[in-house]
């Protein structure tokens, strides 16, 4: 249950976080701006009870018009992120190199789900609006300390199991892993989320240039051409069992996790802080796989990382979210304990990967045919 103190003042639905730089003092200031005429809790309740109210509410702010449909359900069980968490996390992410000043960053008070998008279980998401070429990162309500406890629990338990079974790499100690996990706090965990989502911003800028219009098979080809699909097959023990769409999702998630970790490694004396959510079972046992992932990721995202003028190019309107999927992480841990699996072991051939791309292409063609009928 949310305590009253967790609700934003004035029942404002969101804040936009704006960065200002004081030239003389060479300091960055964070400004929290309440969006004008944002719907209140009462407005959201009215949406569910009286759909005629939707027109009035949706016309009041572009973010709501983009995200909230008449069939939207709202989820209030998670606490609104307080300013101290968001401001601290923003500062950490910026200091590490995530160019958040290029995008609109929002702090939303409610999780939601409708027929187009489902962010009922997300901690944050990246979104590209239809009506303009902006790029958004939207933080969603979360009990961040509970998230930290859950993640420390599964990562710490995994490291302990690997150490007890003699599977932990000699290059990394149990103490070192625990030292990294101890660095997680309110600001740090929020920063990890912001860096993760900015990674999605970067790869979508690359996707824009793969072809017009963007199609999933083009993205999978990109991962194949850069040897990243093969690498993830060797870092995620049950990758080969995933559906074609889930494989592509996993590749994108691992890519932005490698981006996030690279920012930590570069600025925090080699500390990864938060392990890769889906590659931890391989990275703990064979750290060279993480190094390979970071190396390939840098090559893949280099055009977007180094060219600060590169921005969104196409009208593709994706929404990529960060979730703490403990069930999936546990399934990865379980699969990694199989004595027949070795980190780096690839269970798919290059022909298997191309077959995934071919099936994604066929699905695109079928969808296009269905639309024209």
Same-domain check for residues 105 and 158? no
Nearest to 193 by CA among 88, 346, 54: 88
pLDDT tens-digit series, residues 185-194: 999 999 999 9
Same-domain check for residues 150 and 210? yes
Distance, in Å, from the CA atom of 285 to the CA atom of 289, rounded to the nearest integer, reads 9
Element containing residue 14 per DSSP (H, E): strand 14-22
Distance, in Å, from the CA atom of 287 to the CA atom of 167, rounded to the nearest integer, reads 12
- Predicted confidence band of residue 320 (pLDDT cuts 50, 70, 90): confident
Q: For the ranges 109-118, 166-175, 288-297, 321-330, which has the lowest average pLDDT?
A: 321-330
pLDDT tens-digit series, residues 53-83: 333 333 335 677 788 888 889 898 999 899 8
Same-domain check for residues 231 and 135? no
Range of the domain at 195: 144-372
Same-domain check for residues 97 and 178? no
Q: Which of 97, 112, 139 is a domain's end point?
A: 139
Q: What is the pLDDT of residue 2?
A: 36
Q: What is the pLDDT of residue 62?
A: 65
pLDDT tens-digit series, residues 82-105: 989 999 999 999 999 999 999 999
In this structure, what DSSP letter does residue 5 have?
G
Distance, in Å, from the CA atom of 275 to the CA atom of 99, rounded to the nearest integer, reads 22
Same-domain check for residues 338 and 193? yes
Whether 9 has a pLDDT exceeding 60, the answer reads no
Q: What is the pLDDT of residue 1?
A: 31
Return phi, psi of residue 109, to 5°.
-90, -10
Q: What is the pLDDT of residue 35?
A: 54
Same-domain check for residues 318 and 188? yes
Q: What is the pLDDT of residue 326?
A: 86
Q: What is the pLDDT of residue 23?
A: 59
Q: What is the pLDDT of residue 197?
A: 97
- Predicted confidence band of residue 18 (pLDDT cuts 50, 70, 90): confident
User: What is the three-class DSSP state of 372?
Assistant: helix
Same-domain check for residues 357 and 268? yes
Q: Rg of the chain's alpha carbons, rounded to an integer?
A: 21
Whether 37 has a pLDDT exceeding 50, the answer reads no
Same-domain check for residues 86 and 159? no
Nearest to 138 by CA among 169, 106, 176: 106
CB neighbours of residue 228 within 10 Å: 21
Q: For the ranges 19-33, 56-70, 76-90, 318-332, which has the lowest average pLDDT?
A: 56-70
Domain count of the fold of the chain: 2
Nearest to 206 by CA among 251, 239, 244: 251
Same-domain check for residues 219 and 242? yes
To 10 degrees, what angle do helices 350-372 and 228-235 make?
110
Same-domain check for residues 230 and 322? yes
Token pair 């980190």: residue: 343
Q: Which of 73, 106, 139 is a domain's end point?
A: 139
Element containing residue 137 per DSSP (H, E): strand 136-139
pLDDT tens-digit series, residues 213-243: 889 999 999 999 999 999 999 999 999 999 9
Give the number of residues written for the chain: 373
Same-domain check for residues 50 and 160? no
- Predicted confidence band of residue 313 (pLDDT cuts 50, 70, 90): confident
Which pair of tokens denotes residue 355? 């077959």
Residues with Cβ < 8 Å from 64, sequence gap 6 or more? 13, 38, 39, 57, 58
Same-domain check for residues 30 and 176? no
Q: What is the pLDDT of residue 28?
A: 75
Token pair 């990890």: residue: 192
Which pair of tokens denotes residue 17? 């976080």
Token pair 């999927």: residue: 325
Q: Which of 110, 139, 168 is a domain's end point?
A: 139
Burial of 32 (0-12, 13-18, 19+ CB in 10 A): middle
Q: What percent of the chain has pLDDT over 90?
A: 65
Sheet containing 14-22: which strands, arranged edge to edge?
27-34, 14-22, 104-108, 136-139, 124-127, 319-322
pLDDT tens-digit series, residues 248-273: 999 999 999 999 999 999 999 999 99
Whether 4 has a pLDDT exceeding 80, the answer reads no
Mean pLDDT score of the chain: 86
Q: What is the pLDDT of residue 11?
A: 44
Q: Omega before 178 cis (within 30°)?
A: no
Query: pTM of the entire structure?
Result: 0.88
Which pair of tokens denotes residue 94? 């910026």
């Amino acid at each position: 249950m949310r305590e009253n103190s967790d609700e934003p003042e004035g029942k404002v639905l969101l804040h936009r976080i704006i960065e200002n730089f004081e030239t003389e003092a060479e300091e960055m200031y964070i400004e929290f701006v309440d969006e004008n005429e944002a719907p209140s809790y009462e407005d959201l309740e009215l949406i569910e009870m009286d759909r005629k109210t939707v027109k009035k509410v949706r016309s009041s702010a572009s973010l709501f018009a983009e995200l909230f449909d008449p069939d939207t359900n709202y989820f209030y069980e998670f606490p609104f992120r307080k300013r101290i968490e968001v401001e601290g996390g923003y500062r950490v992410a910026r200091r590490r190199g995530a160019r958040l000043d290029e995008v609109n960053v929002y702090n939303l008070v409610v999780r939601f789900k409708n027929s187009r998008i489902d962010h009922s279980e997300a901690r944050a998401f990246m979104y590209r609006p239809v009506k303009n070429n902006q790029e958004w990162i939207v933080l969603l309500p979360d009990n961040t300390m509970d998230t930290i406890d859950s993640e420390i629990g599964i990562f710490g338990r995994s490291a302990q199991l690997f150490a007890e079974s003699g599977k932990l790499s000699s290059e990394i100690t149990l103490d070192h892993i625990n030292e990294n996990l101890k660095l997680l706090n309110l600001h740090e965990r929020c920063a990890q989320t912001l860096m993760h989502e900015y990674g999605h911003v970067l790869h979508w800028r690359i996707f824009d240039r793969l072809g017009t219009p963007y199609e999933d098979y083009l993205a999978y080809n990109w991962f194949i051409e850069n040897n990243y699909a093969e690498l993830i097959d060797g870092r995620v023990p049950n990758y080969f069992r995933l559906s074609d769409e889930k494989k592509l999702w996993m590749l994108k998630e691992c890519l932005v996790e490698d981006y996030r970790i690279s920012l930590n490694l570069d600025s925090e004396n080699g500390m990864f802080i938060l392990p890769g959510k889906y590659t931890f079972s391989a990275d703990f046992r064979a750290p060279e796989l993480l190094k390979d992932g970071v190396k390939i990721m840098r090559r893949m995202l280099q055009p977007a990382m180094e060219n600060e003028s590169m921005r969104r190019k196409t009208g593709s309107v994706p929404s990529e979210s960060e979730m703490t999927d403990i069930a999936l992480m546990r399934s990865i841990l379980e699969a990694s304990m199989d004595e027949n699996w070795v980190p780096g072991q690839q269970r798919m051939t290059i022909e298997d990967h191309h077959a995934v791309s071919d099936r994604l292409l066929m699905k695109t063609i079928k969808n296009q045919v269905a639309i024209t009928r």
